[in-house]
Structure 1
């Protein structure tokens, strides 16, 4: 995978994160986004229990969304290998938390989002893993006698 391709992958992941988390950054909009997840859960036949978000839970949701937004903008502007690896690690942590939440009764719809996270994590982490170790030709300097 070329450096250019990898940078595009990191930017796609950053864009996904910004688009997915932006609705949760502001209280009024996050209520709508939370309701949308409830509706999707019901349409998919899961009928998971959803609690009303109290002000403390709303605050924590909003600051978490803002942290994700800032991190997304950082990766968009600087899609470095280090940022990609940190992003992949964060995605794996998020998936683990999603599995824990679903095992505790949260909507199985979270696992759909987790699958997207895992695909992005593999792609972000993969730069250099699938390339062959081919020795680069060296330039020969002046020969010594």
Structure 2
């Protein structure tokens, strides 16, 4: 079990991670730069699955995703709570499933680096919280 305070710290940490990782996807210009960086990294690592150039529709979806995740991150930074963390854990579970699906169907293995963080933060935010720590320390029953 983790304390309520620790749980809020985890929710904020996951929000900070998301903010840093997804801010680059918010605009077509920055998303192009991010995808070019991924392509160079893929080449440097010798990965055999290339990073595609996005058409206008795929770019729109990347920008929408970046925008929504940045706003959701800002919300979590300001309003961290157990319930917000649980909703985020659910979203992370869905993201991880779709990332694994994408890799299984030919997407770059670089996605798995993000998947590790999705799963780790999802588990951390979903961990049981010790709501009544004061009662347990004094021996009172809840």
TM-score by length of 2: 0.88
Q: Which residue of 1 aligns with 2:140?
A: 137
Question: 2 CA distance for matches of 1:11 and 1:52?
Answer: 33
Q: Determine if contact 1:27/1:58 at 8 Å carries over to the other structure.
A: yes
Q: Which residue of 2 aligns with 1:117?
A: 118
Question: 2 CA distance for matches of 1:83 and 1:26?
Answer: 26
> Which of structures 1 and 2 has the bigger CA Rg?
1
Deviation at 1:5, TM superposition (A): 1.2
Q: Which residue of 2 aligns with 1:91?
A: 92
SS in 2 for 1:46: coil
SS in 2 for 1:53: coil
The alignment covers a number of residue pairs equal to: 137
Question: 2 CA distance for matches of 1:78 and 1:127?
Answer: 19
Question: 1 CA distance for matches of 2:123 and 2:54?
Answer: 33
Q: Which residue of 2 aligns with 1:20?
A: 21
Which blocks of at least 5 consecutive residues in structure 2 are unaligned?
none
- C-alpha offsets along residues 2-52 of structure 1, whole Å, 9 cap, x if unaligned? 211111110000000010000010110110001111112222221313322
Which blocks of at least 5 consecutive residues in structure 1 are unaligned?
139-145
Q: Which moved more, 1:59-68 or 1:37-46?
A: 37-46
Question: 2 CA distance for matches of 1:77 and 1:127?
Answer: 22
Deviation at 1:127, TM superposition (A): 3.6
Question: 1 CA distance for matches of 2:101 and 2:3?
Answer: 36
* Structure with more of its chain in helix, by fraction: 2
